[in-house]
Amino acid sequence: MTQAAPEAASETAPRLEIRDLDVRFATDAGEVHAVDGVSLQVAPGEILAVVGESGSGKSVTARSVLGLLPETATADGAVLVSGTDVVSLSGARLRALRGEDVAMIFQEPSSALNPVFPIWWQMGEGLRAHRPRISRKEIRAEAVKALESVGIPDAAERVDRYPHEFSGGQKQRIMIAMALTLGAELIVADEPSTALDVTVQAEILELLRDVRDRFGTSIIVITHNMGVVADLADTVAVMRHGKVVERAGVQELFASPKQEYTRTLLAAVPHLGRRSAWTALDPAEQAEIEEAEPVVVAKDLVIEYPGRLGRAPFRAVKGVDLTLRAGEVYGLVGESGSGKTTIGRAIAGLERTSGGSLRVLGHEMNGIRERAFRPVRRRIGFVFQDPATSFNPHLTIQQCIEEPLIVHERSLSAQERGRRVRDLLTAVELPGTYAGRYPHELSGGQRQRVSLARALVLDPELLIADEPTSALDVSVQATVLDLFRELQTRLRFAALFISHDLAVVDSLAHRIGVLYRGELVEDGHGPDVLQRPQHDYTRRLIASLPVPDPVEQARRREAFAAEFGGGAR
């Protein structure tokens, strides 16, 4: 390590000590006070979770630990990493500290890894910066050793591959391996499991726990997932408006939170089995859905992608049977690559079917021409996973919402379109004044509400929502889900809700289908699938889901190890 400490002191001295950290950003709209007097400590081998909503200052605090703030930022106070104050360090001394004393695991490995260089070369960047005389052979050996330590199979062969040749979970493991390469005693993990499947997320959390146990590494986890906090953390710091409003041991915080904001945050977390959408209906409502006309019927549905360079075609969907009725919410769950988004896109006419039958609103999709499907398209709404990339940044919110009206309702005047947009903004609980704003001027939750408004602007009979809440804070997610539930109950549209979050699906969906490698392995009402699962894969999904209760989560880890073997995930 670059900053050696006396051996006797190193066992008790904190790996990280933040004292009265204050960070301000200079912007065109004036100064932004992002972090306001934060003080925190992380002991050797401790896992500290920093939680809070977007804009609470948690990521800015984390980046301050590595001196990764932009030039527009002004930082005061002290950030001591192994006794060295990061705030006062120059660029050269900061580079010496990064990697050896503190390392960072970034939120999205696909954007953090360079797509044009093999993995060994990228892992070698840090080694070359700290050991300029290191040879290529030594870099490869160190990279293989690090990849093996995080469970990448066939590391000696795969070290020559490129990022796109690894899955999302494997790329996150590579990021952890990079953090370990130089032996950093403190790791900052910024949302390390966001948007990962529950089984992959469980593997990453177990890996972080294993890193702590094997190497004595201290870890700071930045997250909005309270299940992850309950599963991984020793202590929790809750941030709001740039301040730490509460800090406690993980069991104490979940059992008896002191602050009202913490209680509100915990109350917003969906719990599997606590509020099943199907059991919330009375018998008459259940019968009405069961007897309703189908709007989507798939029989032996097959969707293939053609092979390239002599490779065989890839079959993404393999003989799926599925029925979605008017007024029903059907939850489609499964891991990445299971085929759930492919099915959603095929229903919307965005993917071609290869075999079997898929009838959507009375029209057979297998072999249908675009001209024949165009009148049907207006009866279908689509809510995309990331509204930030699904909106045209050059259009105002009004222009984004009214775009489907311009395409499908050409007889409407500009005044009528404007009135429809304002009515929809009111329906999704946004002020009418937001119509003149641009997408970048809205928060993530507000953009998702606009995305919902755009999907409903043509009064569709069928709504397809593809992971609409995966990257939202728990409180924002709760608001969006309540809004979705209220609109669906009032407007009675059928909905296909695609997600990997079983607790969210349980709270919304009347019927749930579980996809595994393109096959529908389980299908039934929410309580039947999630409380009495029949397929091993469904049981594994449920067992992998972290619950926001440290005591219960510890019990679930032990039960998972007993049922499925291996470590406690």
Question: Which amino acid, 20?
Answer: D
- pLDDT tens readout for residues 290-332: 999 999 999 999 999 887 777 888 899 999 999 999 999 999 9
The structure tokens listed for 415 are: 């005044």
Range from 171-175, 474-478, 548-552 carrying the lowest mean pLDDT: 474-478
Q: Which pLDDT score, from 0 to 100, does residue 299 have?
A: 97
Range from 291-305, 359-373, 430-444, 533-547 carrying the lowest mean pLDDT: 430-444
Angle at 405 between CA 399 and CA 410, to 5 degrees: 120
Q: Look at residues 89, 43, 64 and name the one whose alpha carbon lies nearest to residue 242.
A: 64
Q: Which pLDDT score, from 0 to 100, does residue 474 have?
A: 79
Q: Which pLDDT score, from 0 to 100, does residue 285 have?
A: 94
- pLDDT tens readout for residues 478-511: 888 888 898 899 889 999 999 888 888 999 999 9
Range from 41-55, 348-362, 440-454 carrying the lowest mean pLDDT: 440-454
Q: Which pLDDT score, from 0 to 100, does residue 538 have?
A: 93
- pLDDT tens readout for residues 529-549: 999 999 999 998 888 888 888
* Residue of 554 and 44 predicted with greater confidence: 44
Q: Which helix (H) or strand (E) holds 405?
A: helix 397-408
- The C-alpha atoms of residue 364 and residue 372 are separated, in whole angstroms, by 10
What are the E-state strand segments in 484-553? 494-499, 511-516, 519-525
Separation in Å, CA 399 to CA 384, 391, 404: 17, 10, 9
Contact yes or no for 240/259 (Cβ under 8 A): no
3 state SS of 357: strand
Mean pLDDT of 71-86: 91
Residue extents of the structural domains in the chain: 275-379+463-471+494-526, 386-459
* Residue of 18 and 470 predicted with greater confidence: 18
- The C-alpha atoms of residue 54 and residue 222 are separated, in whole angstroms, by 11
Mean pLDDT of 425-430: 86
Contact yes or no for 543/563 (Cβ under 8 A): yes
Q: Which pLDDT score, from 0 to 100, does residue 217 have?
A: 93
Percent of the chain residues past pLDDT 70, beyond the cut? 96
> For 60, how many CA atoms within 13 A lie in the half-sphere containing its CB?
29
> For 42, how many CA atoms within 13 A lie in the half-sphere containing its CB?
31
Q: Which pLDDT score, from 0 to 100, does residue 533 have?
A: 93
Q: Which pLDDT score, from 0 to 100, does residue 195 have?
A: 64
- The C-alpha atoms of residue 324 and residue 343 are separated, in whole angstroms, by 12
With a cut of 50, say whether residue 9 has pLDDT above it.
Answer: no
Q: Which of 2.115.10.20, 3.50.50.60, 3.40.50.300, 1.10.3470.10 is the CATH number of 275-379+463-471+494-526?
A: 3.40.50.300
DSSP 98: B
Pairing of strands 73-81, 462-466: unpaired
Q: Look at residues 330, 380, 373 and name the one whose alpha carbon lies nearest to residue 352.
A: 373
The pTM (predicted TM-score) of the whole model is: 0.80
Helices (H), strands (E): how many in the chain?
Answer: 24, 20
Residue-averaged pLDDT of the chain: 88
Mean pLDDT of 435-439: 89
Contact yes or no for 373/349 (Cβ under 8 A): yes
Contact yes or no for 223/229 (Cβ under 8 A): yes
Q: Which pLDDT score, from 0 to 100, does residue 566 have?
A: 53
Mean pLDDT of 554-561: 81
- The C-alpha atoms of residue 462 and residue 480 are separated, in whole angstroms, by 18
Mean pLDDT of 151-169: 87
Percent of the chain residues past pLDDT 90, beyond the cut? 48
Question: Which amino acid, 405?
Answer: L
With a cut of 60, say whether residue 468 has pLDDT above it.
Answer: yes
Range from 185-189, 206-210, 359-363, 557-561 carrying the lowest mean pLDDT: 557-561
3 state SS of 336: coil
**Axis-axis angle for helices 550-564, 536-544 (nearest 10):** 150
CA end-to-end span of the chain, whole Å?
31
Q: Which pLDDT score, from 0 to 100, does residue 1 have?
A: 36
